[in-house]
Amino acid sequence: MPIRIPDELPAVNFLRHENVFVMTSSRAHVQEIRPLKVLILNLMPKKIETENQFLRLLSNSPLQIDIQLLRIDSRESHNTSNEHLNTFYCNFDDIRNDNFDGLIVTGAPLGLVDFNDVAYWSQIQCILHWSKEHVTSTLFLCWAVQAALKILYGLSKKTRKKKLLGVYEHNILRPHALLTRGFDDHFLAPHSRYADFPSQLIYDYTDLELFADSEITGAYLMASKDKRLVLVTGHPEYDATTLLTEYNRDRDAGLQPEVPFNYFPENNPNLLPNVTWRSHGNLLFCNWLNYYVYQITPFDLRHMNPTLE
C-alpha cells in the first residue's frame, strides 16, 4: 500500500521515478480506509533530502500511511526554502491536541553541542513528553536517541573522540523478537555520529531491551517493553551517497576525516559506493509499523487520550 502525502511535495515525483507507490492526498480521499497517521519531526538541515529518505522506507509497508511533517525550529533555514517549510510543515501548536499512530524523530548534526545550547532543546523536551499521551509508538534515530535517553532516562551525553563514520556490521541479540523478525544474524547499517552508546550503559541504566549491537558501534537497536519507544543509533534511511556527501563536507571544512569504514569499494573514495543496508532498513521500518504501531494502536485515535473526545 502507498504512503499518503500532499500532491505538491517534491518527494512525489522523486519517489515515483524510483517506481515507489505514492498516493497523493486527492486520490486517498476517495478510499474508505483508516490510514496510519505518522508524524515526522524533521531535524535535519536538508529537509527535502531527509523527507525522500524516510518516505521511501515508509512506502514499503503494506499499510496506507498518512504523513504529517513537523518543524520546531522557527529560525530561517539555510538549506530549505521558507516556501517549502511553510507549505508542507506544521508547527507543534497546530497538532498538540491531535493523536498519532507513530512519530519519527530524525537525527540532527548536534553531536558536539551541549543539550542546553541546542536552540530548540525546550521544544524537544515538550514534544517527547507530549508523545507519551498522544503517540502509540515513537522511533528515534541517531542524535534523537541521545536526546531521548537524556529526557526520558536522565542519561548524560557520551561522546567519542573520533567520529564514527561508515557502514558497520551488527549482531542480532534477540533473533525471535518482533522488531528483528526476518533479520539475518548479521546485518549492515550506516553510522555518522560522535555520540557513544555503550551497550552496558543501556543494560545498567535503562529498562530498554537491546536487540542489536556491535563491538564497534555499541548499542544499535533497542526498544521499551511496551513498544512505545524504539531507538536506532544509526541511519538505515541513508541514500547511497549520503556518507560520501558528509565525508566531502568534512574534508572541505579542513577536518581531515577518515575514509568512511566499509563504504567505498576497495576503500577508494574515487569509486561510487554500493548500498549494502537497504534491505535491513526496509525490514526494520516494516516491522516497526506492523508490530509496534498497527497491531497495538486504537482504531479511533481519540481513545488514546479520552480527554480529547
pLDDT digits 0-9 by tens, 62-93: 788 999 999 987 777 777 888 888 889 999 99
User: pLDDT exceeding 70 applies to what percent of the chain?
Assistant: 86
Is position 83 annotated as part of the catalytic site? no
Q: Is the pLDDT reported for residue 57 higher than 80?
A: yes
- Domain spans of the chain? 3-159+196-238+281-308
Name the CATH code of domain 3-159+196-238+281-308 (choices 3.40.50.880, 3.75.10.10, 3.30.530.20, 3.30.930.10). 3.40.50.880
The response to whether 249 counts as a known ligand-binding position is yes
pLDDT digits 0-9 by tens, 187-229: 999 999 999 999 999 999 999 999 999 999 999 999 999 999 9
Question: What is the signed CA dihedral for 197, 201, 207, 211, rounded to 10 degrees?
Answer: 50
Confidence at residue 68, expressed as pLDDT on a 0 to 100 scale? 95
User: pLDDT exceeding 90 applies to what percent of the chain?
Assistant: 72
pLDDT digits 0-9 by tens, 159-173: 999 999 999 999 999
Instruction: Select which of 49, 51, 237, 246 is catalytic.
Output: 237
Alpha-carbon span 165 to 167, nearest angstrom: 7
Confidence at residue 309, expressed as pLDDT on a 0 to 100 scale? 32
Confidence at residue 41, expressed as pLDDT on a 0 to 100 scale? 97
Taking the model in full, what pTM does it have? Answer: 0.88
Alpha-carbon span 88 to 71, nearest angstrom: 10
Instruction: Select which of 170, 191, 235, 280 is catalytic.
Output: 235
Is position 235 annotated as part of the catalytic site? yes
141 within 8 A of 230, measured Cβ to Cβ? no
The response to whether 163 counts as a known ligand-binding position is yes
Is position 142 annotated as part of the catalytic site? yes
Instruction: Select which of 142, 170, 246, 280 is catalytic.
Output: 142
